[in-house]
Structure 1
Amino acid sequence: MELFPAVPYTSWNPTKETIHRFAQIVGKVRLAFSQRRNHWWNVPYHLTGRGITTRPMGLTDSGEFFCMDFDFVDHSLRITHSSGAAVSFPLPGLSVGEFYRRLVGSLEQIGVPCDIARPFPYDLPDAARPFADDTEHVIYNTEHAHTYWIVLSQVNLILEAYAAQWSGKTSPVHHFWHTFDIAVTRFSDKKTQLPASADTVTREACSREVISAGFWFGDPSFPEPAFYSYTAPEPKGLENQEITPAQAHWIPLRGSHLAVLRYDDVRDTPKPRQTVLDFLGSAYRAGAGLAGWDIDAKACPGGVTCDSPAPAHSRLSDLQL
């Protein structure tokens, strides 16, 4: 299998737009039935061996729970309940409206009320149109959907390797359904002073100083996939800091700056995995250095924090546990 297969924005975007809305619908169910966590860590998807999962959820005193999984090998949505009940339906050929109705019916079939407070897209061009009325987004190319999952899974493992190099407060590696990116975020202990105009999502996500690293598939403002990093609040002069490799650069974004490395530039390098790790590491040092983080104190080479000499091997399977 190829590391970082091609995901040309123009050709796969119709499928992306459909899956993005599918993911928002299921994600809003997750939001309704999961315990709120700091920085919204309860909301995103995690990767599985066949797709993405909400993880088990449920807020009833009965102890019942359920889980929803997108399968991008068989191209279906599967809902399982702790009672043993399960229901699934195929994804190809469904409009967003039909997907919404299938989901509501499937949840009711296994005894779960579909409790979505606002059944509309979030921060998308059609945000004023209910999911149930969307017959526009219907394209689902199975090859493109499968490649989407492959790329997510490969990036997930690289972000795990990046996360392992730091021992401070770090988010899980997770796939956000609102922005359709996959990211991992490092936090300092310093509280931020956000403007009163900041929305509820941003206020919780960035309540502490953060440096976030991730990957997204592109949008109309940047129509190509890319790796990225940002520091928030942004320290003065960040956009002037050197980052690697040479193809990486800073772009202005909503009054701040984003470090960007194009996915296709990574694919052209002889060591794409290391290229991404070098990029994310350089962007982190640029932001952390200017923000005054203690970079050395939180360094965690290879995921090891103990003071004893590290073993020559690094595989967990080699350790005598």
Structure 2
Amino acid sequence: MSQRGTARPDLDYEQLAPTVDYVNRVVQVAGKYTLDEPFEVGWGNVVLDVTPRGLSTRTFRHPEVAFRVHYRLLDGDVLIESDRGTRTLSLRHESVASFYRAFCGTAAGLGIGPPNSSLICEIPGSPPAFEDDRVPRDWDADAARLMNTAVNLAADGLETWQAPYLGHRPRVGVMWGGFDLSATRWRPQRTTPTPGRPAFQQNAELHAYLSVGFSFGSSRSPHPGMYAYLWPQPDGLGSRAWGVEGAAWHPDAGLVQLPWPALMRTPDPVRSVVAFGDAVQAAAVDLAGWPDDLVCPRVDGWYMSRTPTAEVQRLEQEWHEHVHARD
């Protein structure tokens, strides 16, 4: 298992908030291209990949051009890479509106049209569209560096946690609307969506799932940290232990929350993210009737370059015997 837990960024919401709010808005510009891609269960197609230097879209393959967009937080720029060439533009702009104009002009130079929607999503109190957001913005390189370090640490833990899951699991990534990093596990059990919610939320509630993720916080909850929830929400969550000291169920929010300072106090934050996720999976089995054979034994890295094939076969055999013993 990864040992990247030595990175321990100190996250202060008030310090990060202006940069987080700005980045949340500008990543939606390229994120909009995903709305015309084939739908994956739980909107798994829309997430931005966490890269060593920032956040990136998947590759879009249009009839005229293939491209992807990389928001490089550590470099303070955006790289648009296509089969026609590459272009960069700065993340330092006087407003979201000026960034949007610059992005569309730069993309056009590669034969890439603007996204089919310019609406700003899931940000309360925001102007309706990118063109209308003329609030003055300052770029804080130090805040961007902290954001990148934190999201890479959280992604390391979440990707490790997801590895042994046998069911459907979209790739770990940042949902560009709510701007949270999420790792979701799905179960093929139809459920009834909550009436009155937006279409994208109702689509997400067509089947049972659980989600573990990371958030920088918000004005309503200015506390960075890990979160988790189950859909549908079972009874009994208040009496559970959640794998890491400081993690607790918050019924008003409908979330299990692990504050960032509590995570940073653990000996290995990456392993603690895994322990937190495992506790959520256990709650799904115990309280929501999830099958207990959807997660195979976690191995501390297959390390196939140096692990004998016989050892891999032994571990697989132990897993099959474990499953058959319950049948």
Q: Same fold (TM over 0.5)?
A: yes
CA contact (8 A) 1:212 1:231 kept: yes
Rate the CA distance shift 1:126–1:116 in 2: closer, same or farther, 3 A: farther
Equivalent in the alignment of 1:68: 69
RMSD value, Cα:
2.1
Within 1, Cα distance between the matches of 2:150 and 2:194?
36
Residue identity in the other structure for 1:18: Y
Rate the CA distance shift 1:44–1:253 in 2: closer, same or farther, 3 A: farther
CA shift, 1:35, in A, is: 2.8
CA contact (8 A) 2:174 2:180 kept: yes
Within 1, Cα distance between the matches of 2:34 and 2:208?
26
Equivalent in the alignment of 1:243: 242
Equivalent in the alignment of 1:7: 11
CA contact (8 A) 2:245 2:262 kept: no
Equivalent in the alignment of 1:183: 182
Equivalent in the alignment of 1:96: 96
Residue identity in the other structure for 1:3: A
Rate the CA distance shift 1:71–1:286 in 2: closer, same or farther, 3 A: same
CA shift, 1:253, in A, is: 4.3
Within 1, Cα distance between the matches of 2:301 and 2:177?
40
Rate the CA distance shift 1:313–1:76 in 2: closer, same or farther, 3 A: closer
Within 1, Cα distance between the matches of 2:55 and 2:301?
31
Within 1, Cα distance between the matches of 2:307 and 2:243?
34
- Which secondary structure state, in structure 2, belongs to the residue aligned with residue 250 of structure 1? strand
1:134-153 map, 5 Å: 134-153=133-152
- Which secondary structure state, in structure 1, belongs to the residue aligned with residue 61 of structure 2? coil
CA shift, 1:131, in A, is: 1.2
Equivalent in the alignment of 1:277: 274
Structure 2 residue corresponding to 1:27, chosen from 20, 28, 31: 31
Rate the CA distance shift 1:197–1:314 in 2: closer, same or farther, 3 A: same
Within 2, Cα distance between the matches of 1:277 and 1:226?
14
Rate the CA distance shift 1:89–1:170 in 2: closer, same or farther, 3 A: same
Does residue 45 of structure 2 align to residue 42 of structure 1? yes
Residues 185-235 of structure 1 show CA distances to partners (whole Å, capped at 9, x for unaligned) of 111111111133232111222211001111111001210111111000101
CA contact (8 A) 1:44 1:176 kept: yes
CA contact (8 A) 2:154 2:273 kept: no
Does residue 58 of structure 2 align to residue 58 of structure 1? no
Within 2, Cα distance between the matches of 1:229 and 1:260?
7
Rate the CA distance shift 1:155–1:100 in 2: closer, same or farther, 3 A: same
Rate the CA distance shift 1:195–1:49 in 2: closer, same or farther, 3 A: closer
Equivalent in the alignment of 1:112: 112
Give structure 2 stretches of 5+ with no counterpart: 310-327
Identity level (%): 25
264-273 or 70-79, which moves further after superposition?
264-273
- TM-score, normalised with respect to structure 1: 0.88
CA contact (8 A) 2:93 2:99 kept: no
Equivalent in the alignment of 1:132: 131
Within 2, Cα distance between the matches of 1:108 and 1:180?
26
1:208-223 map, 5 Å: 208-223=207-222
Within 2, Cα distance between the matches of 1:137 and 1:233?
41
CA shift, 1:110, in A, is: 1.3
Q: Could you list the runs of 4 or more consecutive aligned residues of structure 1 that deviate by over 4 angstroms after TM superposition?
A: none
CA shift, 1:90, in A, is: 1.3
Residues 29-59 of structure 1 show CA distances to partners (whole Å, capped at 9, x for unaligned) of 3324x33322211111012232211121033
Residue identity in the other structure for 1:8: D
Equivalent in the alignment of 1:308: none
Residue identity in the other structure for 1:166: Y
179-188 or 51-60, which moves further after superposition?
51-60
Rate the CA distance shift 1:195–1:11 in 2: closer, same or farther, 3 A: closer
Within 1, Cα distance between the matches of 2:69 and 2:35?
12
Equivalent in the alignment of 1:259: 256
1:80-95 map, 5 Å: 80-83=81-84, 85-95=85-95
CA contact (8 A) 2:126 2:133 kept: no
CA shift, 1:137, in A, is: 4.9
Residue identity in the other structure for 2:305: S
1:194-213 map, 5 Å: 194-213=193-212
Give structure 1 stretches of 5+ with no counterpart: 304-311
CA contact (8 A) 2:119 2:129 kept: yes
- TM-score, normalised with respect to structure 2: 0.87
Within 1, Cα distance between the matches of 2:296 and 2:61?
35
- Which secondary structure state, in structure 2, belongs to the residue aligned with residue 211 of structure 1? strand
